[in-house]
Chains A and B, each alone.
Chain A
Amino acid sequence: MEDSEARWTADQVLALAPDAASRTAGARLAAPAPWSGTGATARAVWGLCAGSGSRPYQTVVDLSGPAFACSCPSRKFPCKHALGLLLLWSSGDGRPAAEGAAAPEWAEEWISARRKQAEAAPAAVSGPGQGPAAAGQDAARKRAERRAVRVEGGAAELEQRLTDLLRGGLAGSDRAGYQAWDEIAARMVDAQAPGLASRVRELGTVAVSGGDWPSRMLEETGLLHLLARGFLGRQRLPAPLAETVRTRVGFTVDSAEVLAGPLIRAQWLVLAQYDTADERLTTRRIWLYDGVAERFALVLSFGAAGRAPELTLPVGTVLDAEVAFHPAAVPLRAVLGTRYGTGLPERAPSGTAVGPALDSYGTALADDPWLDAWPVLLTDVVPLPGRDRWHLADAGTDAALPLLGTDHWRLAAISGGRPVTLFAEAGATGLRPLAGWTRASPRPIAL
């Protein structure tokens, strides 16, 4: 457990930054000059950074979280000092403490407090008392029943709205604005069905997205209808599909509960990590891949708006770790359990041609029609730049798929017109490239 955390690369450190300004500020502090008393063990890095005040800031990072602490007044998280310290460490300039050397008192205090917390946490989950817990479980079941009733009410109301919509016709929806949709979405929030609410809001944007919007809108309306009907009839569904429906409607399962289920220990290669943000939440998606079982896992981590989610897994490292999948018809989302160590990949994974990849997406859709991002590994594919639309073509056949977006220059650059191996998310409108491999190296390159 204490064995070496691989030194992170600058990219991985910069990925932690909450915004561009922090990245820049952090990079500027990545020089030895302002730092003193720096040191590192396998688990933590620390140092004193001279700032504008008379006392230097005390900065310490727990690499296993990672988690950060700094005595500076910044409300950004992690602050520029933590980023600078990590960058310095990643470049090998950090004057790491000799093996076994102890951290200064102020750093050691925080590190050991965190470690105690981490050890205490699982105990709290696995050690329920008898009486109060039983009563608690009882109350929890009652709460769950009450919520199910409310969500059913919401789903039924949504069904009515959708039927009314199709009686009157979609024509004109592109000029009607968001208001009607926002109102229905608000009703779904009231009904404790956030999954339905966000799909309803999405419908409002599809209506004004131009082009062939009626077709796309009917697609989304059909899927929403399928979801609402699926929830209302969930008792008749096979258990995994019912779980998928519950998840899509907006029910969540505690990580601890998922971890209490079956655990899969494997060598998980970190394929990709990227963030998406809306006004309330930053969502980090981390794709893991077990090359032996050819199995993907998607780990999500969340941060309040403007903050980077806490979990960071360096792309290109291999985690010896336990993973537990959320129950679903197509198990993808997973929770990361115990980590035993990290390493580096020995070879690039092998994937398929374009055709079979698309087939796997089709098969997965049959099990989970609401699937919006299906992981695919493609071997021997060539990116084809285009002014409006890029494509990805098989090196050996004529088959090609569209790529989402128009900036795939990193992908083009690593290809140089030659076949590459690619990891991407497949969706209904195209592929989103996330990592690529050249022949030269087993290390994935984040795209």
Chain B
Amino acid sequence: MDIGWDDLVGSALLGTERRRPSGVVGDAEEAAAGLLDAAAAGVVRRRAGLRPGVAGERPAVAVADGRAELPDAARQRLGTLLSDRSAGSGGHRRGSAPNLAELLPQWLAAAREEGYAAPPEMLPALLDAARARTDLRADALAFAGPRGHWLATLNPDWRYALRAGSGAVAGPEPEGPEQVERLWEEGLFAERVALLTRLRLTAPDTALELLVATWKSERAEDRLMFLDSLRTGLSAADEPFLEQALADRSRNVRATAAELLSALPESALAARMAGRARSCVSLGPDGIVVEAPYECDAAMERDGVAPRPPNGRGERAWWLGQLVDAAPLSTWPARFGGRTPEQIIALPVLDDWQPDLHASWCRAAVRQRDAGWARALLGPPPAAAAPLAAVGDPAKLLSILPEAERAEWVAAFIAAHGLSEAFQMLGVCAVPWAAPLGRAVVDALDIARDAGSYPWSFSGVMGLAERCLDPAAAAQVAALAGGGEEPPDSAPGATAYWGEAFQRLSSTLGLRAAMLGELRSG
């Protein structure tokens, strides 16, 4: 009895009272039994006789990853960190257990630095994690390496990993000048930006040549992005091209070109701006005299000065600010009789121009990365009683100082003023925090506890400390976790919460030390 399967299905659908498969006899009831018998034989034959299909298109083969395999302990740690990643977002109180989500970024940075390859089986979880958390992306994708890039080309959910700007540096490197040129000429916009950015790190001149070759045919918004990538590896060699870009059709491109040129103190634009700034700022017998420009002429506009002030600002002050921002700081000691930056800043400024002038110098110091001026503008950390009258953005100025000096300044600041104003400054300090800085932060937390406030008023700093405090400080923190009388005027329950918060901090530090140890032991 060998009845076709379709025939059986047809009869089964209609019922044997209406239709019988060929070869099945008897009344409707007998035919139904016969149909079932045939179906039973048929299904076994069908399944046992399955043949393989023909393979469709095969994926490309991933580029080999030459980096070392993770040590076992580190691999397990990564598994734990990745499995906890969903937990960090919950708004509930975390108790005394460490916060693993805070540790993942650091783990990734360390693994990347140590030059390990990501275990392939963990790549899907890693790519998912980095998709949800942009702060992880640069390190996660670098760590994911060529295998991660290969996976991302296959799964639309991970397409973000192929885009530039999300830290996609993991793509296969084009080899040889021909491939580079081809990618530049035929690649997608994202690939081209990534290529340019990458090249600027290693061969800035080659990158510039590529850009110059196609510059005229690029769209305005693309030109802006390409120009922006010149920030990396900026040098005097870029000046002629940037000068040319000052005449670009697009206003945004012109402004960016001007900004880049002004970061090159030797450039002709910087010299022109210095000339203009000098003519506005001079030294009189009673102090610095400011004579802001009366007009914004075509030459100034061409050098990137925006003629229209934002609402609420006078146009003359607006123009002056832009001139001083863009003038090389070396202009001023010469202008003011060889005085040092400290002496210049101490000079009185007439007619209420001081805030404008000093704010401009701050911006110039940041743009030109001038540590001497940054130090002078910051001054010594304000003393405890002194009012906080910050000039410019102290965090940005700090970021220009050498690491040790930065940490010392912030430590002294915290010792005098506590933590409430220090969050952004802490954010620019090198990780792990230098010992004096760590001590200052922990002491300040201890003082806050004694003052009777709740720990969650300091959750931002606590979170930073979990990531940045040197694990060597764990002992100091652990001592705080245990102790403490309830101060008489403290908020109810605060002591217990502080105990938990310190315990969490100390156990997170312990974990951090362990996990870094695992990575470094291999």
Contact = CB atoms under 8 A, between A and B. Distances in A.
Interface string B147-185: 100110011000000000000000000000000000000
A195 interface: no
B105 interface: no
Contact of A366 (B48, B60, B94): B48
Interface string B61-79: 1100000010001001101
Contacts of A226: 40, 44
A365 B151 CA distance: 36
B152 to A, nearest CB: 11
Interface in B23-38: 28-29, 31-33, 35-38
Contacts of A90: 76
A237 interface: no
A34 B36 contact: no
Nearest to A29: B97
A366 to B, nearest CB: 6
Given A33-B503, A34-B503, A87 B80 contact: yes
A163 interface: yes
A42 interface: no
Nearest to A394: B55
Contacts of B28: 167
Nearest to A401: B52
Nearest to A23: B83
A187 interface: no
User: Could you say which of A14, A218, A386 has the most chain B C-beta atoms within 10 Å of its C-beta?
Assistant: A218
Interface stretch (B12-20, B248-256, B325-333, B342-350): B12-20
A273 B87 CA distance: 25
A210 interface: no
A91 B36 contact: no
A91 B76 contact: yes
A163 B36 contact: yes
Interface string A212-225: 00110111011101
Contact of A391 (B51, B55, B98, B154): B55
B52 A358 contact: yes
User: Could you say which of B42, B55, B57, B510 has the most chain A C-beta atoms within 10 Å of its C-beta?
Assistant: B55
Contacts of B32: 162-167
Assign chain A's interface to a size class.
35 or more
A417 B52 contact: no
B58 A410 contact: no
B120 A414 contact: yes
Contacts of A27: 80, 83-84, 87, 100
B140 to A, nearest CB: 14
A164 B73 CA distance: 63
A335 interface: no
Nearest to B150: A416
B107 to A, nearest CB: 13
A369 B12 contact: no
Contact of A168 (B17, B48, B59, B84): B17
B285 interface: no
Contact of A169 (B14, B61, B84): B14
A287 interface: no
A85 interface: no
A53 interface: no
A372 to B, nearest CB: 10
Given A413-B121, A418-B61, A399 B151 contact: no
29 contacts: A10-B76, A11-B79, A14-B83, A24-B83, A27-B87, A28-B97, A91-B76, A91-B80, A163-B32, A163-B33, A168-B15, A169-B12, A217-B12, A219-B43, A219-B46, A219-B47, A225-B37, A369-B44, A384-B55, A384-B56, A384-B58, A385-B155, A399-B55, A400-B55, A401-B52, A402-B53, A410-B124, A413-B123, A417-B59
Q: 3 closest Cβ contacts across the A-B interface?
A: A169-B15, A33-B507, A222-B39
Given A384-B57, A416-B62, 14 more contacts: A23-B83, A33-B510, A91-B80, A218-B12, A222-B36, A225-B36, A358-B50, A362-B47, A365-B47, A384-B58, A399-B53, A414-B121, A428-B47, A438-B120
